[in-house]
Amino acid sequence: MAKAKNQNPDYEKMLRKAGVRITRPRRIILGILSGAGDHPDALEIFRRAVAVDGSISLSTVYRTMKLMEGMGAIHRHAFEGGPSRFEQAGGEHHDHLIDIESGDVIEFKSDRIEQLQDEIAKKLGYDIVHHRLELYGRKRRTAG
């Protein structure tokens, strides 16, 4: 019953092909993102990585995040004030609903909204390169 979010597109192969060395820290960090069902920030990734290999440094986590972001292997999210949070790329595009009480992130998708965004941009004379749609909400009290 584990939340299997794992469609691991074998990043190691892709990265090596792109001329990126697969080092021990990188393998560990990538593995963590790959298995994460949440959207951890750099410090949290660092904690999880250290649990596997105590010698990994926070700098390496940041450097790896930046590298992977550049390669398109992960997505960086800057939710409300807090630090950047990361998520493995590869899945379908989606937006986020952030629970302002717990910080939990729920993913959702709306083709209709995407379509409307395109129309708006077009009307304004722009081509959308990317967008950000975040809903900040509070769990509805289940009427008791």
Partner DNA sequence: ATGCAATTGCAAATCGTTTGCAAGAAGGAC
Partner DNA sequence: GTCCTTCTTGCAAACGATTTGCAATTGCAT
Residue ranges in contact with DNA by CB under 7 A: 16, 20-26, 41-43, 53, 55-60, 62-66, 82-84
Query: Residue 19 corresponds to which amino acid?
Result: G
Among its own copies, DNA, none, partner that 18 touches (CB below 5 to 8 angstroms by kind):
none
Does residue 140 touch its own copies according to CB under 8 A?
A: yes
**What is d(CA 20, CA 28) in angstroms, rounded to the nearest whole number?**
15
Contacts of 28 (CB under 8 A, 6+ apart): 49, 52, 53, 56
Does residue 126 touch its own copies according to CB under 8 A?
A: yes
Among its own copies, DNA, none, partner that 127 touches (CB below 5 to 8 angstroms by kind):
its own copies
Q: Total binding residues for its own copies by CB under 8 A?
A: 34
Contacts of 101 (CB under 8 A, 6+ apart): 138, 139
Among its own copies, DNA, none, partner that 102 touches (CB below 5 to 8 angstroms by kind):
none
Which residue has tokens 């410090």? 43
Contacts of 104 (CB under 8 A, 6+ apart): 38, 98
Site residues, its own copies (CB under 8 A): 78, 80-81, 97, 99-100, 106, 108, 110, 112-113, 116-117, 120-122, 124-140, 142
